[in-house]
Amino acid sequence: MQRVDNILNNNIYNQCMAQIEKAEEKRRFCLHDLEHSLAVARIAYIINLEEGLGFDKECIYAMALLHDIGRCEEYENGTPHHMAGSRIAEKILRASSFTEEEIYFITQAIESHKIISDDADKADLRYILYRADKLSRNCFECKMYDECYWDEEKKNQTVQM
């Protein structure tokens, strides 16, 4: 996946990921590292296949790799990460040879992934990201389970994907 590799080699991407890693050095709750992004990518792609949605594999991976990239700004100055992430992702996607239409849909999904409502269209790229992001967390084995702010029904009690 050449365009996904372009993202992984992008300077802005790597600077932001390094900033996030530093800011989360002592974090005891879920991290927002490459491992998380790749788990989201794979789960989103499973949803895409199981539900026959037909989204492009590179777009799904790009969306997942970039969905939390805005946390670098959130940690620095408090800008909500879904807003900052959409703006930063746009630059990275353009430099990684994604088309204007793809950039539009991917950045829309990143911008909405924190606030999408539960009755949203399940075949929408935004909702796939929202679901994959939640499903990626192994709450059932988490040491911070009781202290986590997630509602009880959102926490994954078992492996689902």
What residues from 40 to 69 belong to the interface with Fe ion (CB under 5 A)? 68
Dig out the tokens for 100 from the structure.
């204007």
Which residue, 66 or 93, is less far from Fe ion as judged by CB? Answer: 66
**Measured from the CB of residue 36, what is the shortest distance to Fe ion in angstroms?**
6
Which residue, 74 or 133, is less far from Fe ion as judged by CB? Answer: 133
Which residue, 37 or 48, is less far from Fe ion as judged by CB? Answer: 37
**Measured from the CB of residue 100, what is the shortest distance to Fe ion in angstroms?**
25
**CA separation for the pair 93, 38 (Å, rounded):** 17
**Measured from the CB of residue 154, what is the shortest distance to Fe ion in angstroms?**
13
Is residue 73 involved in binding Fe ion (CB under 5 A)? no
Is residue 111 involved in binding Fe ion (CB under 5 A)? no
Q: How many residues bind Fe ion (CB under 5 A)?
A: 2
Residues 6+ apart with CB under 8 A from 41: 60, 61, 63, 64, 65, 132
> From residue 77, how far is each of 70, 80, 125 by CA, in Å?
11, 9, 28
* Rounded CA Rg of the chain: 15
Is residue 133 involved in binding Fe ion (CB under 5 A)? yes
**CA separation for the pair 40, 134 (Å, rounded):** 8
Report the interface residues with Fe ion, using CB under 5 A: 68, 133
